[in-house]
Each structure stands twice: as C-alpha cells, then as structure tokens.
Amino acid sequence: MSSKIRTLSLFNNKGGVGKTTLSTNIAHDFAGRGHRVLYVDCDPQCNATQLMLTEEQTSQIYASDQDPDVALRRSLEHTVFGVFIPLREGEPEIEKDIVTYRSERFGVDVLAGHPSLSQIEDDMSNAWQSANSKETAAFRRIHWAGQLASAMEDEDRYDIIMFDVGPSLGPFNRTVLLGCDAFVTPTATDLFSFHAFGNLARWFQDWVAEYSEMKEGNVNKWRSYSSSFEKKSRSLRLRGENGHNLEYLGYTTLEYIKKKSGGEEQLIGAFERFRHRFPEEASRIANSLGQKDDEFLLGHMPQMSSMPATAQDVHSPIAGLVSKDGVRGTQLNQRDRYVEKIHDIAEAIHQKLFG
C-alpha cells in the first residue's frame, strides 16, 4: 500500500456479528489518533448513518421537503447514492462532488447511506457482466470506490476512508472491495458463523481468479486503442498497479456471554469447539490474495448487552457515553472495559494498515 490515503472495509456475509458497532467505534478511535476519517455507509439498512448522525441531520437528508418525490430526489443526491448517478446515466466516472455530514461525537465525516442502494446491486451486476465481456467503460464503473478514494486523495481531504457494507457476497460488495487497500472480517465463533467464514474463504478464491482474468482482458483492450490509459486508469486504483493491492488484515470474534461458576467465567462448548478452526479459514482468505500465513486474529469484541442500543439513542461512540446519556454506576466501569477491547482491536488494525 503506497498511496497516502488508506481505504478499509469491515466485511462479512454473516449478519449479527457486531460489524457496524465495531466499524463505527474503530472510526472514532482512528479519529482520536488525529486521522481525518470519512465513513461511507454502503449498507442499504443505513444502521451506521442512524448511529453516527443526529436526528436533525437525518431529517435534513431524508425529509427535506413535504413533497415526498422532491424529498426522495434530494436525499439521493445528498447520500452515497449520489456518487452513482452519473454511472446510472451511462458515464464511466462517478460524481466526485460528494456531500458529507459531520458526526461531532464520533469526530468523523459521514457519507450517508440510502435504502435505494439496493438498486445499485443490479447496476453493478450488469456492469460486472459487461466488464467480463471486456467493455472498458463498465470496467471503469465497477471501480467506483477507487475513483472516490482517488478524488478524496487529490483534494487531500482525508487520511482514511472506511466502507461499511451489508452482509452480502453480491457484485456491489465486490466493487467496494476493489477500492479498498484492506479489509477485516468480524465474526463470531458459533457454527453458522464458522460456515459463513468458510464460505467467504471459498468465495475469495473464485472472486480473485475471476477478477484477475477480467482485469487482464480489459487492460489489454484499453491499451490497444487508447493512449490515455495511464492517465485515466490511475484513479481506479487497479489491483497490481501502482502498488495497489487488497490486503486481508484478519478477523475479530464477537464473544458470547459466558457462564460463571465459583466467580470464574466458564467457556461454553457449543461455541468453543469451532474457535480453533477459524485460523485455517483466515489463512485461506489471505492465501487467495497472495499473502503468506500470519496471525490473523485481531482481537475479541465483547458482547455489550444494551450499551450499543444506548449509544444508538444518543448517536455516540461507546467511549463517548457519559452519565447524562444514561450510563451510570457499574455501567461506567463496563464502558471502560469495552472501550479497552475496542481500542486493542483498533490498534491491531492500525498497525497493519499503516505498518
């Protein structure tokens, strides 16, 4: 990774593993280190947007006019959906004049999500198929995330862009990963999370092979008729070009609530019997990207009971919760323990991302 800006996604095809809670709090941690952070909400559920922005801000974005049609058009233009409007009009380049909103409590800028992002899945599916047929304009469209990162880097607006995505292995999430320097897979240690993790490893093996063939075909065709390939392709952040590569940083586990016996926490066998199998699957993901085996466990994310819901209500990171937010007494000690865990994971990711 040689460029100044860093792009990161927390990605998994299994929901319910605390991905949005973890990613938003890592964004806050990175901001606390002095980084300028842009958080891009690419999940149609918009959970991160609802968490990080105030009700006044979300009302401004999604309900700016009493006419619902006018309000919808304005919301599309003022969210991440607006990035794709030129692509939907047939252009190969994104809308770079993006509208962001400041999350004061998280200390980051947010490119808000939109429920209509589900429509972009079809657009990216069509573009992916066309790119497989060596249609170079479509090949440029599927690298929209790279275009966004390049635009922000050229303007020197941010140090880190974090992409939040939904639990899908569809074409849209593939295009997000094409613009990322690195990704992390939050998971849990139960049976279904383990199978989802293994499915992810197999998917990466197929996806990397397909993309490599697609890229070679499009680049060769593009070079054959255009003398501006070097200039126009720079913004795409193509894998294998100019030092750009997608790197797997590792995984986190969402810890279950442990039973206590004699004051000691006891491991629960139904969960523990899968834990030792995760490193092998993580290595498979890394190997598919040409990486060597490493220590891929980044840390354990605690079950935080009702605290994430409290944070959602007041639009705050866990570390920012105070007594007036409804966190009192022993909960303050719990908050500190949770913050320590989050900080440890953020530190492990930060070292790998900037190391």
Whichever domain contains 188, its CATH number is 3.40.50.300
Q: What percent of the chain has pLDDT over 90?
A: 73
pLDDT at 196 over 90: no
State mean pLDDT over 166-195.
Answer: 88
Q: Which residue has the higher pLDDT, 306 or 303?
A: 306
In this model, does residue 68 exceed pLDDT 80? yes
Question: What mean pLDDT comes out for the span 189-201?
Answer: 79
Is residue 207 in a domain? yes
Question: For 111-122, what is the mean pLDDT?
Answer: 95
Instruction: Give the chain's length.
Output: 355
Mean pLDDT is lowest, of 86-95, 187-196, 207-216, 261-270, for 261-270
Question: 57 lies in a domain?
Answer: yes
121 domain-assigned: yes
Mean pLDDT check: name the lowest of 72-76, 158-162, 206-210, 240-244: 240-244
Q: How many domains does the chain have?
A: 1
Q: Comparing 29-38, 111-120, 166-175, 334-343, which segment has the lowest mean pLDDT?
A: 166-175
Q: Which residue has the higher pLDDT, 95 or 243?
A: 95
Q: What pLDDT is attached to residue 2?
A: 42
**Domain for residue 231, yes or no?**
yes
pLDDT level of residue 256 (50, 70, 90 thresholds):
low
Separation of alpha carbons 303 and 131, rounded Å: 42
> Is there a domain that residue 266 lies in?
yes
Amino acid at 149: A
* 179 assigned to some structural domain: yes
212-233: average pLDDT: 93
Amino acid 1: pLDDT: 39
Phi, psi of 128 (to 5 degrees): -65, -45
CB 22 within 8 A of CB 253: no
Q: What's the whole-model pTM score?
A: 0.93
More confident residue, 79 or 199: 79
pLDDT recorded at residue 265: 52
Mean pLDDT to the nearest integer, 81-101: 96
| 16-31 pLDDT tens trace | 778 899 999 999 999 9
pLDDT for 262 equals 62
- Write a three-state SS string for the chain: CCCCCEEEEECCCCCCCCHHHHHHHHHHHHHHCCCCEEEEEECCCCHHHHHHCCHHHHHHHHCCCCCHHHHHHHHHHCCCHHHHHHHHCCCCCCCCCCCCEEECCCCEEEECCCCCHHHHHHHHHHHHHHHHCCCHHHHHHCCHHHHHHHHHHHCCCCCEEEEEECCCCCHHHHHHHHCCCEEEEEEECCHHHHHHHHHHHHHHHHHHHHHHHHHHHHHHHHHHHCCCHHHHHHHHCCCCCCCCCCEEEEEEEECCCCEEECCEEECCHHHHHHHCCHHHHHHHHHHHCCCCCCCCEEEEECCCCCHHHHHHHHCCCHHHCCHHHCCCCHHHHHHHHHHHHHHHHHHHHHHHHHC
Q: How far is CA 229 from the centre of its chain?
A: 29
The answer as to whether 132 is a domain residue is: yes
Give residue 198's pLDDT band: very low, low, confident or very high (50, 70, 90): confident
Q: How confident is the model at residue 194 (pLDDT cuts 50, 70, 90)?
A: confident
Domain residue limits at 163 = 6-354
Is residue 99 scored above 60 in pLDDT? Answer: yes
pLDDT bucket at 261, cuts 50 / 70 / 90: low
Does the residue 1 lie in any domain?
Answer: no
